[in-house]
Amino acid sequence: MLVRLRNPTREIELAGPLSVVALTNRLEISRESVLVIRDGTIVPADAMLGDGDEIEIRPVISGGST
């Protein structure tokens, strides 16, 4: 699978299948701090990701008005 990461932007090829949790653990990224996106859709932590998938990992950005 092709994994695109942001901040810093880079691409990594990994073999699947992997769950979202296994992917973030392998990349040493906190699952709660990122959104994992496949085909434009956010995927849950228990979703399985396959060899042919293109995944984007974006940091969660929170904010609000004061």
d(CA 63, CA 45): 23
Tokens for 57?
């990992």
pLDDT at 66: 62
d(CA 20, CA 35): 10
| Structural domains present in the chain | 2-59 (3.10.20.30)
**Would you give per-residue pLDDT tens digits along the chain (66 residues)?**
999 998 789 999 999 899 999 999 999 999 999 999 999 999 999 999 999 999 999 998 876 666
